[in-house]
Structure 1
């Protein structure tokens, strides 16, 4: 039997103070798509960012309060959100069946298990729980999320990411960059972290700005701890700045620090942090350091040697996606940043590969969406972005600054985008099509192309796919273009000779396709022969029609007429034309138009008597059709003129 979950017994109108102050945190690495959640439960999940308390969720509830409670229970049961251990023990203890007992969840066996993070060695803790880092709200009504330090009230990590072991876990999707040093103004931490995640980097990244230095510790591509040499980012100073300890306790803390106590040890001795909350307090400090580093717009970074992780450093899930989202909206922007963009007006704002869900989480307004789309289409100069923006100028500066901070874009002095006559994104598909096609397809030439057509097709294709006409090519793209160029040249060498072209055409196309091509050629040749009076142009066209369908009488006699008109003094060619006409009209009952054209050929060869016989037969069989009469009259006039 499953007992009633205490969380469902909460009165939303008068929630307990500890319930309202609790901050649920999304569990990273779990895909909610596979959970088949109801729509309203998914809506609640979208509002849980690790920054908003339950009181804040209740105040801005996207669903009725009762459904909010049920959604929280469902999301926790599915492993999509987490709470503090004390909260789970008090409000979620009956969430799962008590009988039979269920083994606690364990992490997948990607590496040997690693002990949970523990606080550094400190003096014996004082059992005082008057002030707890896991609760930022006093007894009373729910404290709005904006009034509490957001990065502090988060559930503790379950198991730290294990250190990499050869042959274990998914492989990296990117190779670690050989450029280990750079400027944060060009490659901010969010962008760098995305690359390190793809490379599954384990090690230490050092950030420096002026006299300040931070160290961000990564394990398998995820930031798991952060350290700073700035006094203001010690745990005690952070707690005082956020109002978690008063001035008297802070003065005592500083005295203990002067005596040589470690920051966490001093807080434990003062009772400002309970012993059980030490890991959570240290994680909050690391998040504060990481969040501040995400706001840096200048300074330098250095990526340390891979697989060099400090053995004594604890590891936490710092919630990088939530912190980067917060940094986007809260990043400061001043005249120095504006001058930076003005000094780099001719630099390129280059879009990066960003998952669609990250962009959706930003909740851009329509104008920001339009500008983002323009930037993501291709690399653009900063000055061009300022010209096409639908936003006000100051808003555009802030928007570009946010793109850099989030890693949605990066600055480059040169345009690193592969450009050329053809969109580089289309090259893989065009390459496969060219590889699968025949020689005519490779040249985008018609199967009945002439020598000149083949030469023009070669030049046209080289202008599209020669690597010389492209810029900023990646090695893989250049290799693909070189192979496409080689295929174009191979096709040209095979088709530039008319004899080889005809033979190849017969091997590539069936009878139906050849008849279709021959019909097209005949119609073209007929125009040149009878209307434009250009037998030389008609000759090659009609020859290809006859070559593809030699048994079609109309194509044969039309080709013969083009020969005798194109070569009035070449006796050899004229005899070939006579023989072709005699063979054609001797194969049964030719149609009237064939008889008329055959008569025209013989008349131009001087055989007037035989020509008149064929003309008469054409008129008789056609019933003196107008087109036949016109054709015969045209042939007689041309012969008389000669």
Structure 2
């Protein structure tokens, strides 16, 4: 009999995704979404392991575990793994250890790590408990990386929430999507979309170009006939017909890929399946420069249907909206204009969604998007009037074991992502998830309509007086907000798109070289320093000064800023963000700060970071020096630096590509050097298939060897991956000029 897991989380979308992931590993999974339901399920099911959200409504996670331990007195203890949405403070860790928890991890936790923790804990339990070992098989081994990991309905987990959660889980694989006859596949790399494939005829290159007026229907049909005759790819044929140049083609392919992805935001239902570790063959490369959160924001603002927005407001109308507690979500890269920032300033935990009404269509979409990416949360109880917009992390006073009294609002649970309906009271909480209609309603709107109206709540102690809100939009008999005229017209997309563009022009995003230099400078300054130096504050700084310093530094080091960079750079950013977060967890509260100061003189500091992160940083430093030497044409020095970068971090494809290029430039006439250079370039192309540099350098090598056809293909691929690759565009234009001169010469000879 497979092990039984109880998955408890206030966020139904997140809970659903985790449950399906655990089921794919062979476990029997049940779910619950509040403390009372979790405790009832634990008593009825006697699960082999519980994943338990710390911040739950009705009873927090620590109170649930305390009650479980009381009931288990004298018997075997159920392993419990805490998932903390905010900072896993020392007080949290101390409480978890005192209650015998298996551990506490901060969300978002990579899926591979979570599955490994669960499997390891179940394996230890199976060895330690003879009775369990006799009745149950050991925890199942990891599935093949190409096997289906999780699947479900887009009506239960909306596409914005699904994309957001897969990014938080750092999922790598292929996401299969189907809605009726529509089928799409999205390749994810650590949660970032990098390629997409579609079966829609209207999303083919010719159809998109014809619809935009770039080519005529006659040209489209003629070029398609040439494709059928095997003369080449559609884009290349259009270039040969002089309908497009290489730069136009690159931009058209990028637009095609983005259209295939953004169209999914319009789906109201459908099915999804995620194949962990799988690779997508073919498809369009997504050269997205924006963070995953900004991608979700753009999709919601321009594509999500008005019905989905209405369903969100109906499901959460009486809940209080507040900024997210989790540092990872709070500081993710989300571009907001002045109007959006002004609206976000009103989200302080003291107002419900209804209190914020009336809102125009753009503001409604913005709130939905910010909720989808967990920038804001919906809570059942109000917060006290805040002194600053962002809430401080929990303190020890509110963390007394077993406390069940109403907590400070920053401890209240968050419905962080997709709209969800209230849980029905007539379904037993311990029932299996598949039969638990209340845990996965088929329609958020229908569930919201069936839910009884909530009772009036008295203001929380210390809360600001409730002011009567302005007139709200009327509700229909179904309980859904009636859309304003803008929603009902086809112009809602244009209005939403106009909102996405900031009112003031944004500064151009820094290129990767600038990000490398910035991150390396911060790493050299912060690593090995005490936590006060990490945050850049004095030992006499106040809580507010420390919080302000942390907010500023967390935004600069957030991994989303480096989402389009190399793997080594992303890993170094994640390590640095983790260091900054640990510093704030320790210094952000006066009692913890004093404890740190008292222990500072007696403890031996652990200055070593994760080995892989250290190697990544050393590799980055060598790589930067190599790039500088390459610009100075000091090819021998560049080769030595790139060799060191490859030695420190051999799995980074760009390091191999630059090393191969430097080897060739240092000694272009030596057969051995050329062969070694080609091997490194091919290795770089394999390790970094979405980077333009291996293709650009291979193209130059083939060009020098007189292999013009192969060189042209490499340059074309480089432009496809990065339409702004000026060097590859220049090389293609030179090739085209030589081809035209050659044709002219042949024509002159034939005339004679």
Question: What TM-score, normalized by structure 2, do the two folds share?
Answer: 0.28
Structure of greater Rg: 1
Q: Comparing both chains, which one has the higher relative contact order based on Cα–Cα distances under 8 Å and sequence gaps of 6 or more?
A: 2
Question: What TM-score, normalized by structure 1, do the two folds share?
Answer: 0.33
